[in-house]
Structure 1
Amino acid sequence: MNINKIYEELSCSDYIIEHSKTVYERTKDITCLYDDVDLELVEYGAKLHDVGRSITNGIEHAYLGADLLRKIDVDERICKITERHIGAGITAEDARELGLPERNYIPETLEEKIVAHADNLVHGTMKVNLDFVIKKWQDKNMKEESIERLIKLHHELLGSI
């Protein structure tokens, strides 16, 4: 799979590309803790997770990005990573409230969780820590339930680091 060709075909900005490369670098901080992770899947998922931002910067970029990837026959596992990478996931109920198609956007596989959380731990092209993310989410008045899901995901993947 030629990621640069996909970036070009979908008109991804330099910012999207650089952010996605930083997210990929951040995944390495997590994948090194696991023996059973599909590293190639994580790489493609991380590098393609934000292609929907070529259409919109809204929260819907995740499912729209997955749809774009499906149209060019990208592996469904990568499409799921893209679709489920927002925060620590979005429940079907929250999706409905947000105006998204009503389905579960909670990351399920190890690879989905790694990319979602690596994205949480990147701000633009800068690696950040959990405290930074919690503060950012609190400042955006994110639901407490979402913040708790973030903390749970962090501890599941990284323990107390």
Structure 2
Amino acid sequence: MREEDCIRLLRRAGCSEGVIAHCRAVRDLALTYGSDPLVDRDLVEAGALLHDIGRGVTHDLRHAEAGGAICRSFGVDEAIAAIVERHIGAGLTADECSLLGLVPRDCVPRTLEEKIVAHADNLVKGTRVITLEERLQRSIALPRRQRERICRLAQEVELFR
């Protein structure tokens, strides 16, 4: 998908210009991890641009679940919809989703592209790139298991920068 197509879908879903600017910043950072031939750069770009499409509906944790549904309703490729659903933090297990009132499904990033977008989103606050240390400070209220997952994801993805 081209950038213009993604931006059109974000607007169609009701996303604000602030959300769109954030998505562009996440895309820019995510693409810095895409020089390895193992990485599908087009998929990373589209997934990063659309990762917050659900924010046109809600700004809470349900935005990832809603975003996946919106992508599917718009006929977006399933690989992109999966990136959107699995980008929260370093992902959520089915049990964690259930405890948070979400559909109990495994939303932990699996593919390299899913991991890259989740990690890039962790490191972008608004349109500003932050350090992993700052991200972890902002995540201090999360359960230890989730903070550890964020660290492991960072270690894995940073190898591709």
- TM-score band by shorter chain is over 0.9
Query: C-alpha distance in 2, partners of 1:111/1:157?
Result: 10
Query: In the alignment, which residue of structure 2 is the partner of 1:126?
Result: 128
Q: Does 1:16 align with 2:19?
A: yes
RMSD of the alignment, in Å? 1.1
Q: Does 1:115 align with 2:156?
A: no
Query: In the alignment, which residue of structure 2 is the partner of 1:70?
Result: 72
CA contact (8 A) 2:68 2:85 kept: yes
Q: After the TM superposition, which residues 1-150 of structure 1 pair with which residues of structure 2 at under 5 Å, given as runs? A: 1=1, 2-32=5-35, 34-138=36-140, 141-150=141-150
Which contiguous aligned blocks of 4+ residues in structure 1 show a shift greater than 4 angstroms?
none
Q: Which runs of 5+ in 2 are unaligned?
A: none
Letter in 2 for 1:27: A
Q: How far is 1:7 from its partner? A: 2.1
Q: How far is 1:38 from its partner? A: 0.5
Query: C-alpha distance in 1, partners of 2:101/2:112?
Result: 27
Query: C-alpha distance in 2, partners of 1:135/1:60?
Result: 23
Query: C-alpha distance in 2, partners of 1:150/1:5?
Result: 31
Query: C-alpha distance in 1, partners of 2:83/2:115?
Result: 8
Of all paired residues, the percent bearing the same amino acid is 40
Q: How far is 1:8 from its partner? A: 2.5
Q: How far is 1:35 from its partner? A: 1.9
Q: How far is 1:28 from its partner? A: 2.2
Q: How far is 1:158 from its partner? A: 1.0
Q: How far is 1:10 from its partner? A: 1.1
Letter in 2 for 1:131: E
Q: How far is 1:151 from its partner? A: 0.5
Alignment TM-score, normalising by the size of structure 1: 0.94
Q: Per the alignment, in what secondary structure is the counterpart of residue 31 of structure 1?
A: coil
CA contact (8 A) 2:31 2:44 kept: no
Alignment TM-score, normalising by the size of structure 2: 0.94
Q: How many positions carry a matched residue from both structures?
A: 157
